[in-house]
């Protein structure tokens, strides 16, 4: 995991107050972290570490593009995504992770934020892998697939327009 060393923040000897860090994460980051949700994308990540005497507040904000297949037409698209999370880092006798509160030993000299960055980006992903691409000059949409979807929707709508069609068949059978 040598590629993730750049996400290590030295905390021992760090002065009290706010410290800002900026990282760029891309495909190699997601491959190294073996991410199943985000496999491809490029994001700018801002990390703000606010160090206090007995705890640290870690704010992670990101923005960038998620490269994935569209849920509608399966074309490769880049969905603009942004989000943020906040974590508390407290000192304890042993290291543990309790969701938004992370416990580290007071003797710890550094904190690696790679997992927290991945969590923040993963949580920020939209559930639907679509966006309004009609405003773009070169639409990435697969128009052949979209036209077939529209045709299928129209066929389904015309077949189900008459709510009495099943009952009409019953009437003809009784005669």
Q: How does pLDDT run across 95-113, given as a tens digit for each residue?
A: 888 877 999 998 888 999 9
pLDDT at 158 over 60: no
The Cα–Cα gap between 25 and 83 comes to 14
Q: How does pLDDT run across 116-134, given as a tens digit for each residue?
A: 999 999 999 988 777 676 6
On average, the pLDDT of the chain sits at 83
- The domains of the chain are located at 2-135, 142-175
Pair 97, 89: CB distance under 8 Å: no
Q: Where are the alpha helices (DSSP H) in 68-174?
A: 114-123, 143-159, 165-174
pLDDT at 93 over 90: no
Predicted TM-score of the model (pTM): 0.75
Q: How does pLDDT run across 14-53, given as a tens digit for each residue?
A: 999 999 999 999 999 999 988 888 888 999 999 999 999 9
């Amino acid at each position: 995991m040598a590629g993730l060393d750049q996400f290590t923040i030295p905390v021992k000897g760090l002065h009290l107050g706010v410290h800002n860090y900026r990282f760029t994460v891309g495909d190699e980051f997601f491959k190294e972290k073996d991410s199943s949700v985000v496999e491809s994308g490029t994001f700018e990540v801002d990390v703000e570490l606010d160090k206090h005497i007995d705890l640290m507040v870690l704010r992670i904000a990101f923005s960038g593009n998620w490269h994935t297949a569209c849920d509608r037409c399966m074309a490769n698209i880049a969905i603009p995504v942004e989000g943020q999370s906040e974590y508390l880092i407290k000192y304890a006798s042993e290291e543990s992770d309790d969701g938004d509160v992370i416990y580290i030993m007071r003797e710890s000299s550094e904190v690696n934020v790679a997992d927290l960055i991945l969590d923040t980006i993963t949580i920020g992903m939209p559930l639907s892998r679509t966006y309004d691409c009609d405003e773009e000059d070169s639409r990435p949409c697969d128009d052949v697939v979209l036209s077939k979807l529209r045709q299928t929707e129209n066929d389904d709508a015309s077949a189900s327009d008459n709510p009495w069609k099943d009952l009409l068949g019953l009437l003809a059978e009784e005669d």
